[in-house]
Amino acid sequence: MKILAIESSCDETAAAVVENGKSALSNVVASQVEEHKIYGGVVPEIASRRHVEAISGVVKSALEDAGCALGDIDAVAVTHAPGLIGALLVGVNYAKSISMASGIPLVPVHHLRSHIAANYLTHPELEPPFLSLVVSGGHSHIVEVLDYTKFRIVGRTRDDAAGEAMDKAARAMGLPYPGGLNLDRAAADGDPCAYKMPHPRVDGAPYDFSFSGLKTAALNTINSVRQKGGEISIPDLGASYIAAVVGCLIENTERAAVNLGYKKLVLAGGVSANSVLRREAEAMCKRRGMSLYAPELRYCGDNGAMVGAQGYYEFLAGNTADMSLNAYATMSIE
Ligand code: KG4
Ligand code: ZN
């Protein structure tokens, strides 16, 4: 079964053709990074307008790269939530037009479910149940993936998402957008013990996260060093900060995996590209006799292939939509 998949939840216009949920025949991503860089972050209206301009060409390229015509496609899957509403509406409307014109089924896909499904492309042998750490620009969740379309949130962030925490700290350190990636690079040779960072915990919620205090600690460190006329070492502060964020992510995930009895851990979302997170997750899984799965780097950030992977399982579960399908800025993964 071939699925044409469309993703436009944030600042990447993306489309792919995916076969049987496991194999990406094409994966085209038009990034708007250069334009948003000028503003230091994603400007929603600009994102929507660029999606409108790019989407036809991106979908055409995805079909061509896969060697397919629309007549070869069995269903069209699209991210309908959560994300920037104006951005989501572009993809949803485009997918609806294709479905209406060609008569193929329309499959709405939850963005975070698709981030998890990116792992089915990289690890075709992976099957639920497993525990997943989903860390993106807007969300940080520990999720039980009970089946391909059945999810239970175990822990969540009380304030900033992990990616947001990375982006805000990067900005405070003067690093350009996209912050998380540039922070990861800048910190590569830094000393993670150079600056003392707090280790925030949420009372009575052993799997929940709180990152806003960490961001404040980074800002305070920068200000107090500068007030004394000193200079911040960006590699050292970056490494100390990343170590603190990753320390919280791993600690709670390890606790959840042990308490709930999971032997498979799956990383998902843009932050799963982080080199320290991947390394520390690997070390933790080794210590606990668990298997670690992470998407290959090209499937960590937003892309169409992951939408096609999850779309396949949503289709099999009968989760299709009619022409009344709408987009939603927020929606639980459950
Ligand atoms: O999943 P994603 O591409 O978009 C959302 O659904 O939000 O995640 C984007 C987030 C951004 O906050 C970005 O800074 C972060 O992922 N990110 C990283 C790295 N690459 C992307 N954070 C840390 N290290 C990275 N290498
Ligand atoms: Zn995403």
The pLDDT, as a whole number, for residue 185 is 98
Contacts with 251 (C-beta within 8 Å, 6 or more apart), sequence order: none
Assign 114 a pLDDT band (cuts: 50, 70, 90): very high
Assign 253 a pLDDT band (cuts: 50, 70, 90): very high
pTM summary value: 0.97
Ligand 1 pocket, 137 CB below 6 A? yes
Instruction: Check: CB of residue 328 under 8 Å from CB of residue 80.
Output: yes
- CA of 249, nearest ligand number: 1
How do 291-293 and 23-31 pair as beta strands?
unpaired
Burial of 235 (0-12, 13-18, 19+ CB in 10 A): middle
What burial letters (b/e) apply to 306-333, b meaning 16+ CB within 10 Å?
bbbbbbbbbbeeeebbeeebebeeeeeb
Ligand 1 pocket, 274 CB below 6 A? yes
Choose the residue to mutate in 110, 160, 181 for probing ligand 1, maximizing ligand atoms within 8 Å of C-beta: 181
The pLDDT, as a whole number, for residue 36 is 93
Ligand 1 pocket, 83 CB below 6 A? no
Ligand 1 pocket, 10 CB below 6 A? yes
Average pLDDT estimate for 310-333:
98
The pLDDT, as a whole number, for residue 323 is 98
Average pLDDT estimate for 62-72:
97
The pLDDT, as a whole number, for residue 134 is 98
Tell me which residue of 195, 199, 198, 196 sits closest to 231, measured CA to CA.
195
Burial of 88 (0-12, 13-18, 19+ CB in 10 A): buried
Burial of 261 (0-12, 13-18, 19+ CB in 10 A): exposed
Look at ligand 1, atom 2, and give the residue with the nearest C-alpha.
Answer: 270
Q: Any alpha helices (H) in the chain, and if so which ranges? A: 33-37, 44-65, 85-102, 111-122, 162-172, 179-186, 212-227, 234-260, 275-288, 304-316
Q: How far is the CA of 162 from the centre of ligand 1 (A)?
A: 8
Largest CA-CA distance found in the chain, in angstroms, rounded? 67
- Please write the tens of the pLDDT for every residue from 5-61: 999 999 999 999 999 999 999 999 999 999 999 998 899 999 999 999 999 999 999
Q: Does domain 2-116+299-316 have CATH number 3.30.750.24?
A: no
Q: Where are the domains of the chain?
A: 2-116+299-316, 127-295
Q: How far is the CA of 33 from the centre of ligand 2 (A)?
A: 14
Closest ligand 1 atom number to CA of residue 163: 12
Same fold, 2-116+299-316 and 127-295: yes
Ligand 1 pocket, 301 CB below 6 A? yes
Helices (H) and strands (E) in the chain, counts: 10, 10
How do 150-156 and 140-147 pair as beta strands?
antiparallel
Percent of the chain with pLDDT over 90: 98
The pLDDT, as a whole number, for residue 215 is 92
Distance between start and end Cα atoms, the chain: 26
| Cα 174 to the center of its chain, rounded Å | 24
Look at ligand 1, atom 8, and give the residue with the nearest C-alpha.
Answer: 270
- Please write the tens of the pLDDT for every residue from 261-312: 999 999 999 999 999 999 999 999 999 999 999 999 999 999 999 999 999 9
- Please write the tens of the pLDDT for every residue from 176-216: 988 999 999 999 999 999 999 999 999 999 999 999 999 99
The pLDDT, as a whole number, for residue 334 is 97
Q: Token pair of 183, please?
A: 């922070």
What burial letters (b/e) apply to 149-180, b meaning 16+ CB within 10 Å?
bebebbbbbebbbbbbbbbbbbbbbebebbbb
Choose the residue to mutate in 166, 182, 183, 241 for probing ligand 1, maximizing ligand atoms within 8 Å of C-beta: 166
- Please write the tens of the pLDDT for every residue from 210-250: 999 999 999 999 999 999 999 999 999 999 999 999 999 99
Q: What is the CA radius of gyration of the chain?
A: 20
Q: Token pair of 126, please?
A: 């992976």
Q: Does domain 127-295 have CATH number 3.20.10.10?
A: no
The pLDDT, as a whole number, for residue 73 is 98
